Amino acid sequence: MDQDLRTDRVLAAVRSVAMFRGLSAEDQRRVAALATLRVYQRGDSLWEAGDPADHFTVIVNGRVKVVRRTETADVILEIFSAGEPVGAIAVYNVMPYPAAAVALEPVTLLMLPRRDYFELMERNPDFTRSLMRELTKLVLALTRKLEDVRGQRVDVRIAQLFLSLAERMGESEGDGTVIHIRLTRQEIADLVGTTVESAIRVLSRWGRAGLVITRDGEFMIPSRDKLAAVAEGAADTEG
């Protein structure tokens, strides 16, 4: 590929990511000159646990799941979407990745060498603040996830998951919200810490009731308010 065309593509990717928009045009061009774009297909491994975290990585397009591999199954820890850094905590702490990352769909990553990433943080307080906001959101999400698993009904945990996905990735469709993401029942079960059979039962019941409708490659939530009632434990859908 022509070098100028490659640089233009990377620069367009840099400018599309919210955390880089506060940089000056000169710094955006500098990031683009140092960064690379990498494309993955659904199911491709971005890295495995124990691999060196030598690049700061931001998702330009697509979604990535971070998983803890065990002898019996992969446990999904979190899902990341376009504009979000993935693996940033490992990069920031100069440690190997503690978990694997896998493409949930076709993914484009913007990758900046760790040394250049640290220099960028030192030179640009706006970028550092933007990154800290993203990392804080991640820590809070993981903390909420741990709290959600403790002592709550399965339907409550699944409702909280879909409300979180709707907030981060949802698009309005009529009076409802559509989430353009392909998740298997097993992946949903892994995300909320339950069995695939329980996830199937809840989502089948919700589909019949029109609470969460599974479509090809996406989910439709006709009413966030009704789903929020389940998430708050005000409505019992397990009966």
Give every CB contact of residue 192 below 8 A, 6+ residues apart in sequence.
148, 149, 154, 157, 158, 160, 161, 199
Place of tokens 């029109």: 210
Q: Which fold has domain 152-231?
A: Jelly Rolls (2.60.120)
Of 1.10.1040.50, 3.40.640.10, 2.60.120.10, 3.40.50.2300, which CATH number belongs to 3-127?
2.60.120.10
Place of tokens 């019949």: 208
Sequence ranges of the chain with CATH classification 2.60.120.10: 3-127, 152-231
CA–centroid distance for 57 within its chain? 12
Per-residue pLDDT of the chain (239 residues; tens, 9 = 90+): 455 557 789 999 999 988 787 778 888 888 888 899 999 999 999 999 999 999 999 999 999 999 888 777 677 888 888 888 899 888 888 899 999 999 999 999 999 999 888 887 788 777 777 667 666 666 556 555 555 555 578 899 899 889 988 888 889 999 899 998 888 898 898 888 788 999 999 999 999 999 999 998 899 999 999 999 998 876 555 54
pTM above 0.85, yes or no: no
